[in-house]
């Protein structure tokens, strides 16, 4: 039977920034972890998938925020798996207070790939596990795009270090949110609330490589950040404030 997966968490101090609100990176980490825990609860953990020649990698993500939780706040997280569209697996995760106030919605597109070659696999390969998913009506992440603006950009350089990497030996998807925020002026991060954050991953960044970051201020308190590695597009992100 198709099911959602729920978990209660307590927002800890190390998960928050100087405004005491949960960082984008930790919102992304919790969302990714919810997906991993959900399939693991059905006996489909990372090690089993790896042995079977498949792993999930995040393809793109869109976070919509009403309010970021602060440290000490108790939350209920609910994750909803949706049937693939093309090669993209879809999973939405909702962050709510225990009183039922909806704070954050995260929609993620995942790709099923070979752990050795990172070649994209057909979604039907995952059918061997018999994992049921909700219909994908109303989903919006698979069509999500970010376009590089015509606005003038400022370039930053960021070398990939050990602490940026995960067990896939590339920059973890959640680290990119910290990279993006580190390129921005302090004022919007401290004086405003983030309304949304979207990112599309295009190339892995590995240890020792240098990411060239093009940053552009956009109208209506928004910023574009695009990353290149060895002249190849690595990621594109857009962050909006209210």
| 78-107 residue pLDDT tens | 999 999 999 999 999 999 999 999 999 999
Q: What is the pLDDT of residues 102-159, one digit of tens each?
A: 999 999 999 999 999 989 999 999 999 999 999 999 999 999 999 889 888 999 999 9
The verdict on residue 145 lying in a domain is: no
Domain count, the chain: 2
CATH code for the domain of 194: 3.10.129.10
The verdict on residue 139 lying in a domain is: no
- The pLDDT score that the predictor gives to residue 168 is 83
What is the residue range of 24's domain?
Answer: 5-129
- The pLDDT score that the predictor gives to residue 149 is 92
> 227: which 2 tokens?
């990353």
The verdict on residue 147 lying in a domain is: no
- The pLDDT score that the predictor gives to residue 167 is 86
Instruction: Determine how β-strand 88-97 pairs with β-strand 210-218.
Output: unpaired
**Domain co-membership, 33 together with 109:** yes
What percentage of residues in the chain have a pLDDT greater than 70? 100
Burial 59-84 (b: 16+ CB within 10 A, else e): bbbbbebeebbeeebebebebbbbeb
**Domain co-membership, 176 together with 115:** no
pLDDT of 188 over the 80 cut: yes
The CB density around residue 177, as the number of other CB atoms within 10 Å, is: 24
pLDDT of 1 over the 80 cut: no
What pTM, to 2 d.p., does this model score? 0.96
Average pLDDT of the chain? 96
**Domain co-membership, 123 together with 87:** yes
Strand stretches in the chain, DSSP E: 5-10, 55-65, 74-85, 88-97, 102-113, 154-159, 194-201, 210-218, 222-229, 232-241
Q: What whole-number distance in Å separates Cα of residue 134 and Cα of residue 179?
A: 33
**Domain co-membership, 124 together with 23:** yes
pLDDT of 6 over the 80 cut: yes
Contacts of 181 (CB under 8 A, 6+ apart): 23, 24, 189, 239
pLDDT of 228 over the 80 cut: yes
Question: 4: pLDDT confidence band, cut at 50, 70 and 90?
Answer: very high
**Domain co-membership, 92 together with 169:** no
The verdict on residue 44 lying in a domain is: yes
pLDDT of 2 over the 90 cut: no
**Domain co-membership, 116 together with 42:** yes
**Domain co-membership, 45 together with 107:** yes
Question: 170: pLDDT confidence band, cut at 50, 70 and 90?
Answer: very high
């Amino acid at each position: 039977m198709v099911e959602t997966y729920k978990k209660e968490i307590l927002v800890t101090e190390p998960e928050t920034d100087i405004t005491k609100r949960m960082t984008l990176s930790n919102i992304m980490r919790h969302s990714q972890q919810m997906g991993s825990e959900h399939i693991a609860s059905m006996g489909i953990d990372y090690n089993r998938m790896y042995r079977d020649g498949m792993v999930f990698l995040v393809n793109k993500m869109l976070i919509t925020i009403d309010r970021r939780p602060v440290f000490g706040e108790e939350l209920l997280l609910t994750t909803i798996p949706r049937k693939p569209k093309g090669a993209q697996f879809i999973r939405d995760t909702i962050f709510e207070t225990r009183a039922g106030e909806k704070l954050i919605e995260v929609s993620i597109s995942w790709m099923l790939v070979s752990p050795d070659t990172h070649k994209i696999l057909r979604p039907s390969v995952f059918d061997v596990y018999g994992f049921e998913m909700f219909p994908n009506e109303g989903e919006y992440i698979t069509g999500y795009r970010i376009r590089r603006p015509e606005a003038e950009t400022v370039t930053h350089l960021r070398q990939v270090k050990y602490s940026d990497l995960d067990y896939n030996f590339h920059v973890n998807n959640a680290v990119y949110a910290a990279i993006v925020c580190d390129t921005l002026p302090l004022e919007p991060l401290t004086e405003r609330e983030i309304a949304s954050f979207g990112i599309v991953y295009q190339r892995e960044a590995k240890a020792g490589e240098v990411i060239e970051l093009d940053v552009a201020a956009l109208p209506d308190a928004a910023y574009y950040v695009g990353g290149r590695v060895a002249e190849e597009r690595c990621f594109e992100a857009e962050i909006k404030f209210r």
